Structure 1
């Protein structure tokens, strides 16, 4: 099937950041075979011609760190710091998840991602008490692209810890390639504070033997850094380096509390960062110095984290927040300009999670793209300033169509791969089975 998309306003998000008004893109077998100015001669061989009528067209957004299985926990434990939030709210409720709840929550999260323009994601999920295969199948059926990763913890009895590692290894082997190549997995030790050195070393072994990336929360708060220094005598980055974690390509979620020496270690070992600005703000964790990360030559992607700490999957809102935070903290309006932020949410983000076959509109890349129709939206006028509006005005609700591998998964704002009404009703019905945590949460800051 060869499809020609004509009369679109294209934003390629490639290294040259090209824009084309009334441009043209040709897709065959799920890949882009042409993108450029309108070429009448290419239409003769097309099986289908789609007139975009001036819609803005850009690559699907890449969410480099999320927790879709936690979607049903949106609004739990607001106004709390990270450690008490996890220990008294999130983890107790997750312990009561069933496979049915986990799958329903994942569908709800992916529905929100797709409708707001995210086509690729990298995720960690807590496998305790659920059938991980069934949840992966639910993810595959949505049509999304990404890495869905089984989280490794050092909690519970020794037998439970061993079972967790065995489950992660089996999952890694089974899902290195899934859903006709759309889905993969990573090896995902939760964090230096929730994993013993043994679990971290085992994570590296699993990643080496299965040729997979690593995905881990690191240096999210000052408390975490102090805790790791107290336990091991070094800061988290050096602790992980000594354990060999950076011998594999690794994605560090957060990286809020870093110094220059740590950034140099990360650069030497090609450690990438998933930047979660809104989650970090809401949990009182701080503001990552993205400017210094980029200046050090470190790949940085934009991420939402889970909606329990965000509280949505709107990557456009995340992009805008990331840009404004860096400008404000640096007192430099030129810090983190629009093209850089666009790259972080598309091409650079895709590279950060090892998926450079998507993230930009270029010949040979997968046909993952989204459209926005600006003509009936007052906040996107004047339409001639689209390059600015994509960062400072657009929100996820403005997304019109979403394509993955050239297949339309959202059309005119409606998801075609899921029954939207059913997904939302199921999530609300199942929420009652979890209930609120049995133990009250301490006040924030205590």
Structure 2
């Protein structure tokens, strides 16, 4: 596949070059001017930006089903009165269709890879293959200190891992997914740590999302949530922890020292009134910070372009400093930092890297004139500006049309319930 004459965001230093890009198999093999390869597919990108696909490092894709259901309430009330009761009504069929809708939304906004934690995850895996994105999928474990429940959660996790292995797809990856330190017992967390080592599996978890959560953990253990994870054996380079709003200085130091990742979810954190992450301190202490949308029930979109804009603006206003965070740092959170957390050879446009690519149409009034392409991506671009999406060397969307899933069928499914 040959992408011709695009404006390419090249390499780790984010240099803009006008060039062609050649893909063979699932890799970028050559970038240069006037390439003349015997390609099966040639795409004209002369009016487009070619950028690495975005990595949504924390979401719950089927929660699009609950979009707009619970508004203007704090997290625990949101969960206990609205989300959890309605989730109990969801079966496999509903989760499958919700995941399809969520993945289509993510693809339209340039997401090529995502981390997902939910239930009926076999259905999310099926939707992932159908749309053609790369998923790191985990069954969300919640045992609430109940031994019987813990055995069930362990069994479900082991069952799902076997399912992923059986699919034998480069697009499907297993990830351990204990929900949070306040919903998982120490025994559950230690089991996850043991299996992470045994299976060489990554771990995703919610961490220090609210003040009340931190107070609950301190009352129960006499320690911070991060110290609890450390005691469980989870604080290492395989840990991908969402939120991290209420971390103290010691916790930030421990996360950086141990190579763990924090995933910033600004829209969800703002909407639920959970708080504001200390992004500058995390980055300055060597913590790998990714970017995520969380679920659409608390966002209400899965648009990583919008998430970049919010992440930047939020830090500027809370610190009363427009220079507190650079556009390049925000963009790196949405791409390269996510790839680092997932141990993926992705996140930048460069020879030898995975061909996970978003092509953004510049013929949009909101993107012109383009005085600074990177700034335009972070502050001006939106989901509908992505016209072509390539995942693992295969075209998912071309000129705004899906080449994989029947988008109209999925949309009509939801229009039919209005």
Aligned to 1:392: 379
Which one of 220, 241, 255 corresponds to residue 231 of structure 1? Answer: 220
**2:400 aligned partner:** 413
Q: State the partner residue of 1:365.
A: 353
Superposition RMSD on alpha carbons, in Å? 1.8
Instruction: Name the CA shift for 1:60/1:179 in 2 (closer, same or farther; >3 Å).
Output: farther
Which whole-Å CA distance do the structure 1 matches of 2:166 and 2:23 have between them?
23
1:93 equivalent in structure 2:
86
The change in CA–CA distance for 1:199 and 1:420 in structure 2 (over 3 A counts) is same
The match for 2:13 is 16
Q: Distance in 1 between matches of 2:168 and 2:5?
A: 32
Q: Structure 1 stretch 408-417 or stretch 79-88: which is displaced more? A: 408-417
2:267 corresponds in structure 1 to 278
* Residue among 364, 373, 382 paired with 2:369: 382
CA contact (8 A) 1:64 1:122 kept: yes
The question of whether the paired residues in 2 share the 8 Å contact of 1:30 and 1:367 is answered with yes
Q: Residues 367-407 of structure 1, C-alpha deviation per residue, up to 9 Å, x if partnerless?
A: 111111222x2221113432321111111111111111222
Q: CA deviation at 1:332?
A: 1.7
Mapping of residues 212-361 of structure 1, within 5 Å: 212-247=201-236, 249-355=238-344, 357-361=345-349
Q: Is the 8 A contact 2:125 2:135 kept in 1?
A: no
- In structure 1, the partner of 2:25 is 29
Q: Which residue of 1 aligns with 2:112?
A: 119
Does the 8 A contact of 2:95 with 2:123 survive in 1? Answer: no
Aligned residue in 1 for 2:60: 67
1:162 aligns with 2:146: no
What is the CA distance between 1:203 and its match in structure 2? 1.2
Contact 1:117 1:402 (8 Å CA) reproduced = yes
> In the superposition, relative to structure 1, how do residues 321 and 349 fare at CA in structure 2: closer, same or farther (>3 Å)?
same
Question: How many angstroms apart in 2 are the aligned matches of 1:369 and 1:18?
Answer: 16
Worse overlay, 326-335 or 271-280 = 326-335
Shift of 1:156: 9.1
Aligned residues: 418
**Superposition deviation, residue 170 in structure 1:** 2.6
Report the 3-state secondary structure (helix = DSSP H, G, I; strand = E; otherwise coil) of the residue aligned with 1:151.
Answer: strand
Q: 1:155 to 1:260 in 2, by over 3 A?
A: closer
**How far 1:18 moved relative to its partner?**
1.5
Query: Retained in 1: the 8 A contact 2:237–2:341?
Result: no
| Residue 401 to residue 63, structure 1, CA distance change in 2 (3 Å) | same
Q: Is this contact kept in 2: 1:122–1:353, CA < 8 A?
A: no
Stretches of structure 2 lacking an aligned partner (at least 5 in a row): none
**Contact 1:7 1:52 (C-alpha < 8 Å) held by counterparts:** yes
Deviation at 1:232, TM superposition (A): 0.9
The offset of 1:408, in angstroms, is: 1.4
Given that residues 238 and 341 in structure 2 are in contact (C-alpha distance below 8 angstroms), is that contact kept between their aligned partners in structure 1? no
**What is the alpha-carbon distance in structure 1 between the residues aligned to residue 27 and residue 137 of structure 2?**
23
Whole-angstrom distance in 1 between the partners of 2:169 and 2:187: 34
CA contact (8 A) 1:114 1:415 kept: no
Change in CA separation of 1:141 and 1:156 when aligned onto 2, cut-off 3 Å: farther
Q: SS at the partner of 1:122? A: strand
Unaligned runs of 5+ residues in structure 1 are 433-446
- Kept in 2, the 8 Å contact 1:67–1:306? The answer is yes
